[in-house]
Amino acid sequence: MTQPKARGALAAWNDCAPEGLAEYERWYADHLAERVSVPGFREGRRYEAVPGSGADRRFFTFYPVDSAEVLSSPAYLARLENPHPDTLAAMRHFRNMMRTVCVNAQEDGEIAGAYALTLRFAPEDAAHAQNLPPDFASVLRQELSALHVRVFVAAPGQTGQTVEARARSKPDENMGFTVIAEFGRATEAETARKQLAETAFRVRHQLPEGGVLGIYALLCILRAGDL
**What pairs with residue 173 in β-bridges?**
98
Give domain status of residue 220, yes or no. yes
Q: What is the pLDDT of residue 214?
A: 98
Give domain status of residue 2, yes or no. no
DSSP 1-18: -PPPPP-EEEEEEEEE-G
What percentage of the chain exceeds 70 in pLDDT?
A: 99
Q: What is the pLDDT of residues 80-98, one digit of tens each?
A: 999 999 999 999 999 999 9
Q: State the residue range of the domain holding 122.
A: 8-226
Q: What are phi and psi of 41, to 5 degrees?
A: -80, 135
C-alpha to C-alpha distances, 153 to 87, 91, 170, 223, nearest whole angstrom: 27, 25, 23, 22
Q: What is the pLDDT of residue 3?
A: 77
Give domain status of residue 42, yes or no. yes
Q: Is a pLDDT exceeding 90 seen at residue 191?
A: yes
Q: Are 145 and 188 in contact (CB under 8 A)?
A: yes
Global pTM value: 0.96
CATH assignment of the domain containing 165? 3.30.70
- Is 151 strand, coil or helix? strand
Give domain status of residue 1, yes or no. no
- Please compute the mean of the pLDDT values over residues 190-218 and round it to a whole number: 96
Give domain status of residue 3, yes or no. no
Q: Is a pLDDT exceeding 90 seen at residue 157?
A: no
Q: What is the pLDDT of residue 221?
A: 97
- Please compute the mean of the pLDDT values over residues 8-27 and round it to a whole number: 97
Q: What are phi and psi of 213, to 5 degrees?
A: -100, 140
Q: What is the pLDDT of residue 84?
A: 94
Give domain status of residue 169, yes or no. yes
Domain count, the chain: 1
Q: What is the pLDDT of residues 48-57, one digit of tens each?
A: 999 999 999 9
Give domain status of residue 207, yes or no. yes
Residue 1 banded pLDDT, cuts 50, 70, 90: low
Q: What is the pLDDT of residues 111-155, one digit of tens each?
A: 999 999 999 999 999 999 989 999 999 999 999 999 999 999 999
Give domain status of residue 50, yes or no. yes
Q: β-strand 8-16 against 59-65: which pairing, if any?
A: antiparallel
What percentage of the chain exceeds 90 in pLDDT?
A: 94
**Helical ranges in the chain per DSSP H:** 21-36, 74-81, 85-91, 126-130, 136-144, 163-166, 186-197, 199-204
